[in-house]
Structure 1
Amino acid sequence: MVSESGSDEAALFKSYGNLQPINAELAKPMLKEAKEILDPLGILFWLRQGTCLGAVRDQAFIPWDDDIDLGSVIGLNGLTEDMIAPVFDAFRERGYYVNVESNDRWIAAGMMKASTRIDLTFFRIIDDSIFHFPFIWIPAKLFANLKEIEFMDGKYLVPNPPEEYLTAKYGPNWITPKEDYEQDVLDQVAKTPVAKTTPMPGQPSTKIRVLNVREELVSGAEVSVVGLGEANTDDNGYVEFGLPYNDFYAVVIKFENHEEILYQELLSPGASYTYTPDASVTNGRLMVLSEEK
């Protein structure tokens, strides 16, 4: 159950599956508060993803964006890994619920306060690039000499040049506001270098079972875990993938005349999931796959 404060674990995980447009009146002071926390700790951070897109293109938060996205790169601008834990402690002291995850690509925190989420990611450099969801690799050089811009009555940093960053993430048409942007992002995955992450040896496979609207098994359905691989379901409606981590992935499912992009699915190595389409919705659903027990 989500608390009245909207600053707990339940509120955080509800925010991932039920995206609500950000409240700009709350987001503006929270962004300022984040800067007040990070600056004294020596963390040179930048606006990323939708927050960067809105700041550069619209000079505002995007009306349908759901969170505040901030980033920093380990090994650039004086950031070392031992500086990160005190950052999360400082946010907790300001009343945020903070959930931290880490792997060889990043150390990331989903932070919730007043039902508003800040996603703060400290990226690791891998082969001169950093990872952006859903498997887009962006040159680290864009974050070495950050650009200062005016935004929300303050001065904030963005990748430099921001246009190159936004093109890498959202494609060449990023300048045009578009609520249904998922396919543009997936098109960028095809242009990025081959994924640099592989499952751990002995890691169990993740299974996805595909059903149609009549809840019948679908054999031969095309299933793609974006950036990792594609496969067709077997006679029992299942397909298997090797996932490197418990993480969010984008999944695309196609069969007959049906296609759906599941832009944000939380998947775990070794787990099994079921996909059931909704005849009335073909785009924009999140956290759709149900885990089989």
Structure 2
Amino acid sequence: MNQQLPRSRTLALEQDGPWLTVWFDDPANGNALGRTRIAELARLTHGLALRPDIRGVLFRGRGGVFCEGALGDVLRAGANRDIDREALVQASRSFGALLRRVATLPQLTVMAVEGPAHAAGCGFAAAGDLVLAADGAEFAFTDTRRGMVPAQIAPIMLARLGHRAARRLLLLGEHVDARAALDIGLADAVFPDSAALDAEIARIRDGLTLCAPGAVAATKRLLLDLPGLLPDEQLDMAADVFADQIESAEGREGLESFFGARSPGWTSPGGGRGTRRGS
């Protein structure tokens, strides 16, 4: 039996079979990531790691706003000198840990950016596997212009954009529109309106049903871990992941279906993640 996803006051969750849409549900406040929403997202990502039946997660903002930053409550307390250093460190670390959890979820993650994605909102978007932007989306790296440091989004931006683009955006606090975001690799695709964006999300969702969920999760882990390894270590890790997957129930199902000229079980409505060795 699958674990129930946690209830939330700041997020709206819509599950449709193996696909979950997570809405930031406070457009009046820019769908910003305050401490409460960060904590609720952390609980959600922990729950998602235990839900192999959910194969794709879409993050989106209500009201045509993706996310206008994070920790505004902490920054206001800092401006009033009403928060100590330890609390500042813990708040920053909690947000960084959330970004890492999002980046390492076993599911495919899609970020649908409409309207502003500012500061930490850019970092959250960049933590996804795919970033889809509608025309009118705006990515703003405002921290240095406000005397702040984009501390926890820096690792995410470096991983997604590389040093050259990340340096320019983060050091100069630049704003880029959807087309410029596509040019630098921050967005994977741009769409003229919400209808076209929705159509692409539906296409991705349909395509995901053809992919084995365990293989998707293993590939994500491999892509995240390989850059930190030496060449021989990369060879060893890749070989182990390859062998583990073939020896898993899912891998056997994939090979049997391929050589048997039939569709694998995970493409059916009840198809799920195979059991891996040691699971």
Tell me if both proteins adopt one fold, taking TM over 0.5 as the criterion: no
Structure with the larger strand share: 1
Q: TM-score, normalised by structure 1?
A: 0.33
Q: TM-score, normalised by structure 2?
A: 0.35
